[in-house]
Amino acid sequence: MNILLTSAGRRAYIVDYFKQCQGVENVYASNSVYTIALKRADGYFLSPLIYDKQYIPSIIDFCRKNNVTAVLSLFDIDLLVLAQNRDAFKAAGIKLILAPASFVEICNDKWKTFNFISSLKLKTPKTYLHIEEVKTAISKGEIHFPIIMKPRWGMASMGIYRVENELELDVFTQKCKKDIFNSYLKYESSMTTEEAIIYQEIISGEEYGLDVINDLEGKYIGTFAKQKISMRSGETDLGRTAESSPFEEATKTIAMHSKHEGILSVDCFKTPNGIFIIEMNCRISGHYPLAYLAGMNYPQQLIDWLNNKPTNPKWLTFKTGLYIIKDLTPTILYENSAPTPNFNK
């Protein structure tokens, strides 16, 4: 079996995890620029940008030429574009491992995330879409400074501001808009130009990243929890594997409605007042390596499912109480000049 990881970026460790799996022959990777993940893959291609009209055809063409069975994306924006073209992949005999497009959009749009979580009667921070609503809520004592401001379609901790007073609220709103429309966040945000920012109350508690696993029929399998101790570039840098039982009721409820295939990342806070869901992403997360090192081998279980094998508890073991940190290893990427776009290594 051959698989393709799209928008692989710098997550070479995910490539390595899949290359170590039994039952997979080649692990390919794609990205719009050459990266360390492409260097470590068994083969690669430099793709057009995600919103280019040739993006989907180029992936399907690569998959056909290289007998790729399944495609996984490691980037939020990519997920929605892939999900919206599920029929084209199905027609080509290629399996996409992700959630329905409607749920991917809920995950990518933090305003829809708030409404989705609220509709399930789960706890989530009070969230506002307009600065006037925030000021009214503060004047009524519904929320209090400081608050968090972030891009509605944001990711990787881009454009996030902690707001301490009304002056900062006005100034950072303008700054956040500039951040959005001067970055790749402008593509999704263009759909909601006048509502591109959300404002949230700050939740005090322990922050956790949860891996919520469904099988390929969208049936809930289990939850794996990691406490986030320190962060770097929007990802967990140091974390602790933790007991999952406090989170299972909420995550099972989400999984029953998401119908996602494979893995769903959920960020939350554990507080004396319960579990508050913050964000969701339909992909392997930056905190997944903690689960992997603790024994939860999602890549192998996924390959087994793709090979029509049953769920294997061996791949879903999980040791708690481990403190895990990411290591930075300098690596030569290429010499003299970058690789030019091609479809085979």
Note the pLDDT tens digit of each residue in 118-176: 999 999 999 999 999 999 999 999 999 999 999 998 876 788 999 999 999 999 999 99
Q: What angle do CA 42, 44, 48 make, to 5 degrees?
A: 165
How far apart, in whole angstroms, are the C-alpha atoms of residue 291 and residue 117? Answer: 24
pLDDT of res. 233: 64
E-strand spans in the chain? 2-6, 26-31, 43-46, 68-73, 95-96, 127-128, 147-151, 161-163, 197-201, 206-214, 220-232, 235-242, 262-271, 274-281, 323-325
Question: Architecture of 206-325 per CATH?
Answer: 2-Layer Sandwich (3.30)
Q: What angle do CA 113, 261, 63 make, to 5 degrees?
A: 115
pLDDT of res. 255: 98
Location of each CATH 3.40.50.20 domain in the chain: 2-98
156 by DSSP, 3-state: which? coil
How far apart, in whole angstroms, are the C-alpha atoms of residue 207 and residue 167? Answer: 28
Peptide bond before residue 146 is cis, with ω within 30 degrees of 0 = yes
pLDDT of res. 26: 98
How far apart, in whole angstroms, are the C-alpha atoms of residue 280 and residue 285? Answer: 10
Location of each CATH 3.30.1490.20 domain in the chain: 126-201
Domain 2-98 has what CATH class? alpha beta
pLDDT of res. 325: 86
Task: Kindly state the tokens that stand for 217.
Answer: 């029929």
- The predicted-structure confidence for 47-70, as pLDDT tens digits, reads as follows 999 999 999 999 999 999 999 999
pLDDT of res. 216: 97
- Backbone angles phi and psi of 323, in degrees to 5: -100, 120
Task: Kindly state the tokens that stand for 273.
Answer: 């007042």
Location of each CATH 3.30.470.20 domain in the chain: 206-325
Task: Kindly state the tokens that stand for 83.
Answer: 């999900």
- Backbone angles phi and psi of 168, in degrees to 5: -65, -35
First-to-last CA distance in the chain? 18
| Average pLDDT of adjacent 10-residue blocks, the chain of 345 residues | 96 97 98 95 96 96 98 94 96 97 95 98 97 96 96 82 96 92 78 89 96 97 94 77 97 97 97 97 93 97 98 96 86 82 51
Is-contact 273 206, C-beta < 8 A?
Answer: no
What single-letter DSSP state applies at residue 123?
B
User: Is CATH 3.30.1490.20 the classification given to domain 126-201?
Assistant: yes
Give CA separation, 102 vs 81, 282, 316, in Å. 11, 12, 28
